[in-house]
Amino acid sequence: MSGLRNFYIVTTVILMFSCFPSRHQSRLPSECVFCTISEHSGTRMVYQDEDVIAFHDIRPAAKTHLLVVPTKHIETVKALQGHDYTTVKKMEAVGRRLLREQGYTEENTRLGFHIPPFNSINHLHLHCLGLPFRNWWIGGKYSHNTPLWFISVEKVLEKLSADA
């Protein structure tokens, strides 16, 4: 019972603080931390092409935690439209390939997006997690069973496909 109680306490704290804008939340792409990220900024890039970049999350929630980010500024998962299907599909393909190259299988990976206001940065980024999680309670933040703050890449692609 105390584990569930702790989960709700942590969730409440996360919800309370997520209402306050992060120093990384920006309305202008020129001020966006992901729009200006590069190897020169000290970020460990693991993949880069003209459409997407991928790098390690600075606060990993799992054994491996990569972010795949489109080079084109898209605010959040809520800003996606049918014409963004190809971008999200490429983000998924890159994330799955990078995790597979590190020895992960479909069963021990999780790919998805945080839903505003529960995202930390207003630039679309796909969380690519190679499990296990670093601790038991953080897994709830990336659960497909919590549709209020995390949505799987598969569900996003289904929605975009229907919107196209």
What are the catalytic residues? Answer: 127
- Paired tokens of 16: 């309370």
Question: Could you tell me the sign of the dihedral formed by the alpha carbons of 153, 61, 5, 13, in that order?
Answer: negative
The CA-based angle 133-134-140, given to 5 degrees, is 50
Separation of alpha carbons 109 and 66, rounded Å:
11
Separation of alpha carbons 18 and 4, rounded Å:
21
Question: CA-CA distances (angstroms) from residue 43 to 39, 83, 107, 117?
Answer: 5, 29, 28, 25
Q: Name the one residue in this structure whose structure tokens are 């069963």.
A: 107
